[in-house]
C-alpha cells in the first residue's frame, strides 16, 4: 500500500492506493502524456497550448504563492527540506528536459513578451534592487573602490599581454578569437601592486570567475607564473621576492 498525496479541490488529501491501482494510474497518465514519455511536463505544455488557442491560459496552481502565504507550499517545502537529488536523478532530469527536449528549445520570446519581462524585472522589481555596496552578496569590503595604481596603464597592460603571448592564462583562448583585449588581472587582488609578478592576462569570462574563491585563484595564478617565468613568491604572503624579472 502506497500513500499518495495529491491536490484536489483546493486542499490536500491523502489517499491510499494499492500497488495495482498506482500502476494503472501511472500508465494512464503516461498514455495521456504520450508524446514524450520521458517528460510529463510536455503533456502540460501541450494542454496549455490547447487552452491557449481556445481560451485564456489558466495560471499554474502555485503561481505567486509562497510558503509564508500558502499552507500547501509550506507542506511541500517541509517535506523537501534536506532532500538532495542524486547525481543519477539529476542526469535523468537533465536528459529528459534538457536540450531538444526542453519545452522552450528553438523558441524565443516575442518582442512584446520581452518588453513585459523587462518591465517586470527592472527597477524596484529587480531582485538585486538596492543591493549595492555592503548589501551585495559579492561585497568584499570596499576593495573595488581602491584606486588602481598609476602604473596600471595601457603601456603596462600591453606588456603583460605580450608577456603572456596574448593568451588567457586560464583557459588558453587567444586574443584574436575575442572581441576585446584581454583583461589584466591583479593576482592578489591588490590593485596598488602593479608589478608583472602580480599581473596576469585573462579573458573576460575567466576574469569574472576570479571574484569567488580568491585564495585558490591566487595560488593557481602564482603557480602558473612560477612555471612560466620563474617568478618567486613568499609562502603565505601576497608577494614577492624579486629574483628574476624574466618575461618582460
Ligand atoms: Zn579565459
CA of 202 to the centre of ligand 1 (A): 5
CA of 215 to the centre of ligand 1 (A): 18
Residue with cell 612555471: 227
Kindly tell me if the per-residue pLDDT of 209 is higher than 60: yes
What is the C-alpha separation between 86 and 92, in angstroms, rounded?
10
- Whether pLDDT at 186 is above 70: yes
For 226, list phi and psi in degrees, rounded to 5. Answer: -60, -45
Q: For residue 178, what is its C-alpha cell?
A: 575575442
* Distance from residue 93's CA to the centre of ligand 1 (Å): 30
- The grid cell for 59 is 495560471
Longest Cα–Cα distance of the chain, Å, equals 78
Ligand 1 midpoint to CA 199 (Å): 14
Task: Identify the sign of the CA torsion 63, 68, 72, 77.
Answer: positive
Residues in a beta bridge with 167:
174
Other C-beta atoms lying within 10 Å of the C-beta of residue 42: 19
On average, the pLDDT of the chain sits at 77
Per mean pLDDT, which range of 2-11, 95-104, 199-208 is the poorest?
2-11
Compute the distance between CA of residue 125 and CA of residue 65 in angstroms, rounded to an integer. Answer: 17
User: Can you give the pTM of this predicted structure?
Assistant: 0.43
- Interval 114-150: pLDDT, tens: 998 888 888 888 888 888 777 877 676 655 556 667 7
Helix H or strand E encompassing 12:
strand 11-17
Distance 167 CA to ligand 1 centre (A): 8
Domain range summary for the chain, segments of one domain joined by +: 1-62, 149-238
Distance 228 CA to ligand 1 centre (A): 17
Amino acid at each position: 500500500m502506497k500513500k499518495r498525496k495529491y491536490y484536489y479541490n483546493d486542499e490536500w488529501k491523502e489517499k491510499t492506493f494499492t500497488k495495482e491501482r498506482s500502476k494503472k494510474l501511472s500508465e494512464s497518465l503516461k498514455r495521456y502524456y504520450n508524446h514524450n514519455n520521458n517528460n510529463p511536463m510536455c503533456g502540460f505544455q501541450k494542454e496549455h497550448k490547447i487552452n491557449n488557442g481556445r481560451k485564456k491560459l489558466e495560471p499554474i496552481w502555485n503561481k505567486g504563492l509562497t510558503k509564508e502565504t500558502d499552507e500547501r507550499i509550506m507542506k511541500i517545502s517541509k517535506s523537501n527540506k534536506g532532500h538532495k537529488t542524486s547525481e543519477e536523478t539529476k542526469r535523468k532530469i537533465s536528459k529528459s528536459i534538457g536540450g531538444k527536449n526542453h519545452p522552450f528549445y528553438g523558441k524565443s520570446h516575442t518582442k512584446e513578451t520581452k518588453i513585459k519581462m523587462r518591465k517586470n524585472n527592472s527597477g524596484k522589481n529587480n531582485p538585486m534592487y538596492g543591493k549595492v555596496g555592503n548589501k551585495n552578496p559579492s561585497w568584499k569590503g570596499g576593495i573595488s573602490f581602491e584606486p588602481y595604481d598609476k602604473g596600471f596603464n595601457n603601456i603596462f597592460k600591453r606588456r603583460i599581454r605580450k608577456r603572456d603571448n596574448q593568451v588567457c592564462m586560464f583557459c588558453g583562448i587567444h586574443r584574436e578569437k575575442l572581441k576585446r583585449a584581454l583583461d589584466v588581472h591583479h593576482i592578489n587582488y591588490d590593485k596598488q601592486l602593479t608589478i608583472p609578478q602580480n599581473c596576469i592576462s585573462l579573458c573576460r569570462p575567466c576574469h569574472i570567475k576570479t571574484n569567488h574563491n580568491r585564495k585558490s585563484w591566487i595560488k593557481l595564478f602564482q603557480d602558473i607564473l612560477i612555471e612560466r617565468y620563474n617568478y618567486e613568491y613568499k609562502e603565505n604572503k601576497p608577494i614577492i621576492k624579486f629574483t628574476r624579472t624574466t618575461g618582460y
